[in-house]
Amino acid sequence: MDNLNQIIDELNLPTQLKVYLNSSEQTKEQLTVGILKEIEDLYNFYQALYLFDTSEFSAFTITSLKRCKDKETFYYYLKKVIDSNVDFKSRDTAYSHKDDCFSLQKEIVNKTFEQAVLEFCTYIDGVYKRTDKLNLTQTFINLGKLELITTLINNQNYEQILNAGKLVLEKHKLL
């Protein structure tokens, strides 16, 4: 079994799938090196051509391992399950549907959010101190940025920061 763990670790597979395969003794009993190579081959194929949710790929791979009775046809069974259940987007920008969705890079969103929070907090601090140089335009621009980001990104911390800022503005009758 240690040899199988080593093989799993060396394969190009999603991390969550590797963790499951290494930790599930019941699933390991059904695994062979051939099946692992087939899973890796399918993953490499999809990863090269498409953008997709690796958690879905992993979940359907695990359920396929449990459901497929004939290990000789596992590759074709798994391919059919993945093709039917996982949403794929072309990596080729010429054929991607830009109107269907858009992708946000986490680093850019975090940087934009942090910048908006810093500026917003500076203006909110001015509200507390009742300074003459209070820039309501910039305050509300940053509030809008924060609202947009929290609408697009489901992040509890972002939402708490936004709500705290809104409370300050409401308390001072600016919102």
pLDDT attached to residue 155: 80
Tens digits of per-residue pLDDT, 51-80?
Answer: 999 999 999 999 999 998 888 899 999 999
E-strand ranges in 52-138 read 89-90
Nearest to 78 by CA among 49, 37, 107, 117: 37
pLDDT attached to residue 116: 83
Is the pLDDT confidence value at 94 over 60?
Answer: no
Delimit the domains of the chain by residue range.
2-90, 106-171
pLDDT attached to residue 33: 92
Q: Model-level pTM?
A: 0.55
Tens digits of per-residue pLDDT, 98-152?
Answer: 555 556 677 787 788 888 888 888 887 777 777 766 777 888 888 888 888 888 8
Distance CA 110, CA 103 (A): 14
Q: Are 89 and 96 in contact (CB under 8 A)?
A: yes
Is the pLDDT confidence value at 82 over 80?
Answer: yes
Least confident of 6-10, 99-103, 135-139, 155-159: 99-103
Percent of the chain at pLDDT exceeding 70: 90
Distance CA 101, CA 150 (A): 17
Contacts of the segment 30-34: beta carbons below 8 A, 24+ positions apart:
30/65, 30/66, 30/71, 31/4, 31/65, 32/71, 33/4, 33/7
Nearest to 171 by CA among 128, 121, 120, 116: 128
pLDDT attached to residue 101: 56
pLDDT attached to residue 58: 94
CA distances from 119 to 11, 105, 123 (A): 45, 21, 6
Highest mean pLDDT among 85-89, 124-128, 151-155: 85-89
pLDDT attached to residue 38: 95
At how many degrees (to 10) do helices 54-67 and 33-49 cross?
Answer: 150
DSSP characters over 91-107: S-TTTS-TTT-----HH
Average pLDDT, the chain: 84
Look at 136 and 12; give whichever has higher pLDDT: 12
Tens digits of per-residue pLDDT, 26-49?
Answer: 888 888 999 999 999 999 999 999
